[in-house]
């Protein structure tokens, strides 16, 4: 069966899905949102590793959760999962994630820099301040996009207003 899987000779650089299917596409990586999500994933992972190696191991949970959420959203945006699954209001969910992450990283960074004296805690705090700025930029851009969307009327002008169904008997 080995020669049936890849008729083109299939070494490492063939056209098959392989590991490259897990990486985000070029359109996501070059977009502002994609770059912010990649920075959030990388910074959250670095902060997680710093806190694992430090005395302040109690702060491990927040960077781990933010790492997983940012990784999920990066995957969702790169595979267009957010366009196929309309169950959530994705920009609002992403906005709340960024606001909470920036607040949590700011508080954790202040505590880890001021209370703990080991180098890994200090490094985690410094990267936490950088992550606070990245998450704050992300929610600022999301907020501006949402505000512009709402100023333009929400985009669905074809739907009739809800008040026109006065003759329907839905009781």
Q: Who's near 98: CB < 8 A, 6+ residues apart?
A: 135, 136, 138, 139, 142
Q: Report the distance separating Cα 168 and Cα 152, nearest Å.
A: 30
pLDDT of res. 88: 74
Overall pTM > 0.85: no
CB 52 within 8 A of CB 89: no
- Tokens 């609002």 locate to 92
Candidates 37, 47, 48; CA nearest to 74 is 37
Per-residue pLDDT band at 29 (split at 50, 70, 90): confident
Tokens of 7: 């008729």
pLDDT of res. 3: 47
Q: Who's near 53: CB < 8 A, 6+ residues apart?
A: 120
CB 137 within 8 A of CB 36: yes
pLDDT at 38 over 70: yes
- Tokens 């491990």 locate to 60
pLDDT digits 0-9 by tens, 112-167: 999 998 999 999 999 999 999 999 999 999 999 888 888 887 655 444 445 455 55
Q: Report the distance separating Cα 147 and Cα 151, nearest Å.
A: 6
Residues in the chain: 171
Percent of the residues in the chain that have a pLDDT greater than 90, as a whole number: 48
Q: Report the distance separating Cα 130 and Cα 66, nearest Å.
A: 14
- Would you call 6 helix, strand, or coil by DSSP? coil
């Amino acid at each position: 069966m080995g020669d049936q899987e890849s008729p083109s000779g299939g070494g490492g650089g063939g056209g098959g899905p392989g590991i490259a299917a897990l990486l985000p596409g070029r359109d996501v990586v070059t977009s502002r949102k994609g770059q912010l999500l990649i920075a959030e994933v990388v910074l959250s992972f670095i902060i997680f590793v710093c806190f694992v190696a430090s005395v302040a191991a109690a702060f491990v949970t927040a960077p781990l959760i933010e790492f997983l959420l940012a990784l999920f959203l990066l995957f969702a945006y790169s595979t267009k999962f957010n366009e196929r699954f309309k169950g959530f209001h994705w920009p609002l969910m992403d906005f709340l994630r960024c606001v909470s992450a920036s607040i949590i990283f700011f508080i954790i960074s202040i505590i880890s820099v001021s209370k703990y004296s080991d180098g890994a805690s200090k490094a985690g705090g410094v990267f936490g301040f950088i992550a606070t700025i990245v998450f704050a930029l992300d929610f600022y851009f999301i907020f501006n996009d949402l505000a512009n969307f709402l100023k333009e009327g929400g985009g669905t002008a074809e739907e009739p207003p809800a008040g026109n169904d006065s003759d329907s008997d839905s009781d």
